[in-house]
Structure formats: structure tokens, C-alpha cells
């Protein structure tokens, strides 16, 4: 497993909440499938952008998030290979960071939003 570490107040810290590779009500890339890496990478990156939109729409603009708070792609070993999912990395010693991470975990979307559906190629993109 790949783990990311960061320093907070001179201490080596890592706090994660794993959010999955896609919204919880959607099908996602399956480990072992021939196109897994490409599909999982695209889905995770798209999901991160959707989660940042969700945060922004609910009073947590990206430029105001606490230091140490981020959405990242984490890898995990599995019997059938490595799988990838989105995780919320946050500073466990910062109350606001913990509150936002917990809010995000409790309010993760069930479905892809329209922007994500377009990014994933499920809806046509319109040229201006």
C-alpha cells in the first residue's frame, strides 16, 4: 500500500477517510479488468473534481480548506492486483479539518453529477 505522510506542528501525521473509487451508487472499474488502470485513474480523478465541487457548493471553497486537507488517490494491494480509490487526507489535530472530512464522508454523492458524466464520456460535450 502506498501511504502519504505530511508534517503538522513538527509531528509526522497521516489521517485518511477512504471515499471509494466512484460515487457509492455507481458502477466503477473492477480490479483485474484489462482496462482497469486507465478506467480507475479517470474515475478517481473525476470523482475528486466532483467532491471539490460538492465542498464548494456547501460552503467549503477549495481555497479556504485547512492546511493538510486534500483529496488524493490511494493505492491498495489486493489478491487480484492493486486497486485505487479516493481518500480525504486531513489534519487530525485541526478541528475544522476533521469536521470537513467527516462532513464529506457523510455527504458523499450517490451518483455522478452532470459535469462528471461529461468528463467520463457518458454525456455529449457541447462545443461553444
Q: How far apart are alpha carbons 15 and 32 in whole angstroms?
A: 28
Residue 93 confidence (pLDDT): 87
Phi/psi for 90 (5° steps) reads -150, 165
Structure-block grid coordinates of residue 61: 471553497
Domains and CATH numbers, the chain: 6-117 (3.30.70)
Residue 14 confidence (pLDDT): 64
pLDDT level of residue 81 (50, 70, 90 thresholds): confident
Q: What is the pLDDT of residues 56-75, one digit of tens each?
A: 999 999 999 999 899 999 99
In this structure, of 17-26, 56-65, 78-87, 109-118, the range with the lowest mean pLDDT score is 78-87
Write down the pTM of the prediction: 0.85
Whether pLDDT at 40 is above 50: yes
Residue 1 confidence (pLDDT): 31
Whether pLDDT at 33 is above 50: yes
Amino acid at each position: 500500500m502506498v501511504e502519504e505522510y505530511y508534517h503538522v506542528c513538527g509531528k509526522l501525521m497521516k489521517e485518511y477517510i477512504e471515499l471509494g473509487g466512484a460515487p457509492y451508487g455507481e458502477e466503477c472499474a473492477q480490479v483485474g479488468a484489462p482496462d482497469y488502470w486507465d478506467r480507475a485513474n479517470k474515475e478517481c480523478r473525476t470523482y475528486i473534481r466532483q467532491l471539490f465541487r460538492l465542498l464548494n457548493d456547501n460552503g467549503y471553497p477549495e481555497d479556504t480548506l485547512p492546511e493538510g486537507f486534500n483529496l488524493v488517490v490511494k493505492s491498495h494491494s489486493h489478491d487480484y492486483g492493486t486497486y485505487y480509490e479516493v481518500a480525504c487526507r486531513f489534519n487530525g489535530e485541526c478541528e475544522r479539518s476533521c469536521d470537513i472530512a467527516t462532513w464529506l464522508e457523510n455527504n458523499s454523492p450517490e451518483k455522478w453529477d452532470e459535469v462528471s458524466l461529461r468528463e467520463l464520456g457518458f454525456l455529449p460535450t457541447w462545443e461553444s
